[in-house]
Chains A and B, each alone.
Chain A
């Protein structure tokens, strides 16, 4: 079955530590996205990538970094510079053009 896989489902970060969230898709989609969702709120865009080896900042990119070395993969690193990282992180992908986004089941990040 085609889809998006996010791992791990739960992640804990210690002070001063960088952590990396994985996102893999086998839908052959060109575009991939990372969102942050805080309790009871909507999604805010962190980074997005429309093509391999290219990505753009979204609305809340500070304290985060990404790479897009392969079409299938778009990992997100939450750096120690992100002072309030506790949230639910969602990865999505889409075809180019006027198309809906397909979402993974998220990673819940907490601080130890």
Chain B
């Protein structure tokens, strides 16, 4: 079963606007990661936030994590047409020495020029 659920499933905005995507999960986690996927391509890692962290920034990306609510959000500021892609959250429950991730179903973001 999927650990993470993204909300909304689809989001359409104009260039320059901010985009916010949310992710909820069910069990305790070691870390939560956000990935981006362009159509027909592999996933690209965006940001990793550990369970003892509340907020992380990377360029125009801001991720928050609320472990009490079992939720995370990804904010993309000043969006560009090139940000059009699917965005996935993935949770790592720390069960293996590697990184066994459980992915949500994603948010399809469309940024209109």
> Which residues of A pack against B, CB within 8 Å?
4, 6, 30-31, 33, 35, 40-45, 48, 50, 56, 58, 88, 90, 92, 94, 96-106, 108
Task: Tell me the smallest distance from the CB of B36 to a CB of chain A, in Å.
Answer: 11
DSSP class of A's interface residues: helix, strand, loop or mixed?
A: strand
Name the contact of B92 in the complex, choosing from A50, A96, A98 (C-beta under 8 A): A98
Task: Tell me the smallest distance from the CB of A23 to a CB of chain B, in Å.
Answer: 11
Contact A100 B48 (CB under 8 A): yes
With CB as the reference atom, state the residue of chain B lying closest to A50.
B98
Contact B50 A106 (CB under 8 A): no
B4 cross-chain contacts in A, Cβ below 8 A: 42
Cross-chain pair count, CB within 8 angstroms: 72
Contact B43 A94 (CB under 8 A): no
Q: Give the docked Cα–Cα distance between A103 and B88 (Å).
A: 13
Contact B105 A101 (CB under 8 A): no
Q: Give the docked Cα–Cα distance between A96 and B94 (Å).
A: 11
Interface presence of B100 (CB below 8 A): yes
Known contacts A98-B30, A100-B45; A42 and B98 CB within 8 A of each other: no
A31 cross-chain contacts in B, Cβ below 8 A: 98-99
Interface presence of B97 (CB below 8 A): yes
Q: Give the docked Cα–Cα distance between A35 and B2 (Å).
A: 13
Name the contact of B44 in the complex, choosing from A48, A88, A97, A103 (C-beta under 8 A): A103
